[in-house]
Amino acid sequence: MIPEPFDRARIRLRPLSERRSKLGIEEIAATGEGAAPPAGDAAPALDELAREIEKARSRGAPVVICHGAHLIKNGLGPLLARLVSAGWLTHVATNGAGSIHDWEFAHQGRSTEDVRAYVAVGEFGLWDETGKYIGLALLAGGLEGLGYGEAVGRLIAEDRIEVPPLEALEEIARAALDGKAPADRGAAALDLLDAVRKGAPAGEIRVAHPWKIYSIQARCREKGIPFTVHPGVGQDIIYGHPLLAGGAVGRASMTDFLVYASTIERLEGGVYLSVGSSVMSPMIFEKSLSMARNVLARKGRSLDDFTIAVNDLARIDWDWSRGEPPMEDPAYYVRFMKSFSRMGGKLRYVGLDNRAFLLGLEERLRRG
């Protein structure tokens, strides 16, 4: 017998201020001062990658970074913001946790909890403000067709969420039913209407972000650069919060996937940096690339001239320029290399700590 879905209203949430957060953004932020850590054997690869990025940007091609959450936890959000401001990065993508850590740093200057300790007492991830404000940002953003990253970036940049009154939400929903408004907007209005009826505040909600200078989501919002979020339902701490609506998450993340796919469609001559994301990045890339080639082929165009640079800490012994290893070789099961090796273009692996990788790359781009 299939059980009833878990009722999140039973959960006792605690204020985020009561959490013992392990990382302070002011202590770990990559400010750009001082020399980059030595790159060792990876130095030639960084030199060549910097030249490829310079070449891509000189001809107007995209440079995309798709990263895991540890990049933000390593204090590299400000470094990404500098690369965006300088015009080196044209699209930033991450998973749900990357967005959450960036928001928590911007809101309270700290992030990351002791998972073992808090799971043991049934409190891991169950912090009111994180789920509430990100959930409301996605709900309100859905009314305007915003993606996940842009909705959270707007919250950080503007220190506010605007929730229309019940009457306005009901009117939008009715207009959608009558065919006078897009169905997606009507569905977003109903999701937000449900949240308000469950106790979410309406009107202008002020949320301070005293550390927003460190936020890559806010910087991308200010610069008009796509910041897309590609979450997995249930994988992030916000899913325990009653105001986190599945419809809003799905709507916002689908928008972001299609924005991401639009960038990949224009990747000819560009560079794709996959940093610390062993599953999400290769998975969304291969689907988007196939979609793009499907459309471009009917226009007589190709999408083959691009560089993929993968940065991770895993030891890679197989020479992927020779093709895939045999199935009995453990390297065959290194998902991110196997997936990216099938995509065409030029593939390079740089085994290096992501802080050293990005600081070294920034240093080379700055030198020119």
- Segments in the chain below pLDDT 50: none
Residue 33's pLDDT is what?
82
- Residue 331 has which token pair? 């390297």
CA distance 87 to 75: 20
- Residue 221 has which token pair? 């919002």
> HSE (CB half, 13 Å, CA atoms) of 122?
4
**Looking at this protein, which amino acid is placed at residue 51?**
R
> Per-residue pLDDT tens for 221-252?
999 999 999 999 999 999 999 999 999 999 99
- Residue 57 has which token pair? 């940007």
Residue 173's pLDDT is what?
95
Tell me the pTM: 0.96
Residue 336's pLDDT is what?
85
Phi-psi region at 213: left, alpha or beta (left = phi > 0; alpha = psi -120 to 50): alpha
What domains can be seen in the chain, in order of their start residue? 23-106+210-233+242-367 (3.40.50.1220)
Residue 198's pLDDT is what?
87
CA distance 16 to 161: 19
Residue 333's pLDDT is what?
80
Residue 32's pLDDT is what?
82
